[in-house]
Amino acid sequence: MTNFLQQVVSGLASGGIYGALALALVLIHRATGVINFAQGEMATFSTYILWTLTQNHGWPYWPALAVTLAISFAGGFGVHQLVVRPVERGSVLRVVIVTIGLLLLINGAMTWIWSGEVRSVHSPFPTRTIDMGGVAISIQDLGTIGVSIGVVILLGLFFRFTKVGLALRAAATNPAEARLVGVRVPLLLGVGWGLATMLGAIAGALTAPTVFLDPNMMQAVLIYAFAAAVLGGIDSPVGAVVGGLLLGVGLNLLGTYVNFVGADLRLPAALSVILAVLLFRPAGLFGHRVVKRV
Amino acid sequence: MTALLVLEGVEARYGPVRALRGVTLEVGEGEIVAVLGANGAGKTTTLRAVSGTVRRSGSIKLAGRALSGGPEAVAKAGIAHVPEGRGTFAELTVTENLRLGAYTRRGKIDADVERMAAWFPWLIERGDQQAGTLSGGEQQMLALARALMSRPRLLMLDEPSLGLAPLVVREIFRIVRELNEQEGLAVLVVEQDARIALAAAHRAYVLEVGEVAVTGTSAELRENESVRKSYLGY
Ligand SMILES: Nc1ncnc2c1ncn2[C@@H]1O[C@H](COP(=O)(O)OP(=O)(O)OP(=O)(O)O)[C@@H](O)[C@H]1O
Ligand SMILES: [Mg+2]
């Protein structure tokens, strides 16, 4: 039983990360109709910035994270304006190729700038465990869960209650009408890319302490994030997060209690989730059909 | 009467299709002007030329200043365009639609939401309803309210009567007329239903294949033989 609870908590921690990156995918998909295959590499790039600031320049963690987030926002905004915007209204294939090209480009750039060596990034949370009713739970896991859920709530509040958040939703769902009320749609969609890239940076910063930082760090996480997004419904922000948490816990329990599913079978298991959802419930758990009266 | 909106020799095309072939028209301050015409005459395109959602040439001026640039700039300049098919944000709530209407403005908008509630009392209690689930008439009213939230200098309506019951159409035109009388709101309204449009408007233009064929006061047009035959049906 203790083991079970520990597995659930650590599953929620990795699930929170999947959920954050899945949310980034969903944000971008809703804003611009693009599946961003470069989301993982962009997150890794952000994490390298964090590493450079903390390790090379000796910055304390939190200011370094804040600056990393700001740079990530600007980077995401720039990628949208320069690379995505020219192709986003074109064919799906073109957009896919552009984001895959971006993936390769960023990956190459990281190897070139920081070399392929593995680096380690500290966690802002202590690695101690605390005892909760006989269950030893790592503070790192709790911190990760807290941060990912906190970020998602903040983002939800932003979309619901701020003028920019509202304009972004309008721009994403109905660009022509949004322009008529004065929303500068391309600018706002760039903001969407910026926010998604910030989310990715957070996912990267949360991932790095448990693995090592190298240019391919987020590739597996991206697959889990895809699975989470598909599971939750690619257009549902809530679905992305719930999908991430379900997937994290599910994979952990599967690895613990089903003998033949070891660490190497986590990815295939995630891929089967994608496949199964696409086959049997393409809209995902929370995907909704738009209600419209004609 | 001082001119608010002035179009001179405005042309617009969709690829090879010439939709406007030199339209000249004017809306004065505090005036309601109707644009009539058959299907495909270029009524919608005239409004789109003003709001910059179609490529246009010729001169378009609002209060003496040239309107150029896209719809964002035109909205900012003070023109609220309710497009054909209403153009509400179906996935957003009624209140969110209203808030978006005031997007170009700074400062408090609560007072304006209340002002809209005075015109459309049901808006407040339906505040959290998704706009896409409103009835056609309610959506048209929401579109109107949203346009008014920007406190426009000029309101442009594209076929507000389309697909609505006569009672609802009358209600909409009554509100437009009252806004005009009480607040001096200038309106450029496109309509196929010439009867109701001429009843509400001070003046009107009749478009035929992208050009102004007839213009005059509403009373004059009602007396005009060919307008009567073609658009009023008696
Ligand atoms: N998106 C478009 N692409 C190509 N041609 C178009 C487009 N929109 C309009 N047109 C053409 O431009 C001309 C004017 O169209 P417009 O929509 O302005 O007419 P309208 O007077 O509003 O007609 P209706 O009463 O049917 O709404 C028509 O010949 C139409 O076929
Ligand atoms: Mg039309």
What average pLDDT does range B135-164 have in this prediction?
93
Q: Determine the atom of ligand 1 nearest the C-alpha atom of B15.
A: 4
The number of angstroms, rounded, from the C-alpha of B157 to the middle of its chain's C-alpha atoms is: 2
What average pLDDT does range B196-213 have in this prediction?
94
Mean pLDDT of chain B: 92
Q: What is the pLDDT of residue A294?
A: 39
Neighboring chain B residues of A184 at a CB cutoff of 8 Å: 72
Q: Is A174 on the interface with B (CB under 8 A)?
A: yes
Q: 3-state class of B95 per DSSP?
A: helix
Rounded to two decimals, the pTM is 0.89
Q: Is residue B234's pLDDT more than 70? A: no
Q: What is the pLDDT of residue A4?
A: 87
Contact A12, A141 (CB under 8 A): yes
Q: What is the pLDDT of residue A284?
A: 84
Q: What is the pLDDT of residue B34?
A: 96
The three-point CA angle A191-A161-A197 to 5° equals: 25
Q: What is the pLDDT of residue A293?
A: 43
CA-closest candidate to residue A110, choices A55, A193, A41, A211: A41
Q: How far is B133 from chain A (nearest CA, A)?
A: 6
Other CB atoms within a 10 A radius of the CB of residue B91 amount to: 18
B19 C-beta closer than 6 A to ligand 1? yes
Closest partner CB to A290 (pick from B76, B132, B136): B132
Residue closest via CA to ligand 1's atom 17 equals B44
What average pLDDT does range B7-28 have in this prediction?
94
CA-closest candidate to residue A245, choices A9, A10, A7, A12: A12
Q: Is B90 on the interface with A (CB under 8 A)?
A: yes
Alpha carbon distance, N-terminus to C-terminus of chain B: 32
Q: How many residues does chain B have?
A: 234
B16 C-beta closer than 6 A to ligand 1? no
Neighboring chain A residues of B104 at a CB cutoff of 8 Å: 181-182
Give percent helix, percent strand, percent coil of chain A, each to the nearest 5: 70, 5, 25
Other CB atoms within a 10 A radius of the CB of residue A72 amount to: 28
pLDDT (tens digit per residue) in B58-77: 999 999 999 988 999 999 99
Say how far apart CA B36 and CA B192 lie, in whole Å.
6
What average pLDDT does range B103-132 have in this prediction?
89
Question: Could you write out the DSSP letters of every residue in A154-196?
Answer: HHHHHHHHSHHHHHHHHHHH-HHHHHHTT--HHHHHHHHHHHH
Q: Is residue B52's pLDDT more than 80? A: yes
Higher pLDDT, B227 or A260: B227
Residue closest via CA to ligand 1's atom 2 equals B14
To the nearest 10 degrees (0 to 180), the angle between helices A185-207 and A2-32 is: 160
Q: How far is B201 from chain A (nearest CA, A)?
A: 24
Closest partner CB to A179 (pick from B70, B134, B150): B70
Q: What is the pLDDT of residue A288?
A: 64
Say how far apart CA A213 and CA A110 lie, in whole Å.
11
Question: Structural domains in chain B?
Answer: 3-88+154-232 (3.40.50.300)
Element containing residue A131 per DSSP (H, E): strand A129-132
Closest partner CB to B99 (pick from A166, A178, A291): A166
Half-sphere exposure of B106 toward its Cβ, with a 13 Å CA cutoff? 0
What are the pLDDT tens digits along chain A (294 aa)? 678 888 899 999 999 999 999 999 999 998 888 899 999 999 999 999 999 999 989 999 999 999 999 999 999 999 999 999 988 877 888 888 999 999 999 999 999 999 878 888 888 898 888 888 788 888 999 999 999 899 989 999 999 999 999 999 999 989 999 999 999 999 999 999 999 999 999 999 999 998 889 999 999 999 999 999 999 988 888 899 999 999 999 999 888 887 776 677 788 888 888 888 888 888 888 876 544 443
Q: 3-state class of A99 per DSSP?
A: helix
Q: How far is A180 from chain B (nearest CA, A)?
A: 5
**ipTM at complex level:** 0.91
CA-closest candidate to residue B99, choices A216, A285, A60, A163: A163
Which range has the worst mean pLDDT, A91-95, A131-135, B88-92, B172-176?
A: A131-135
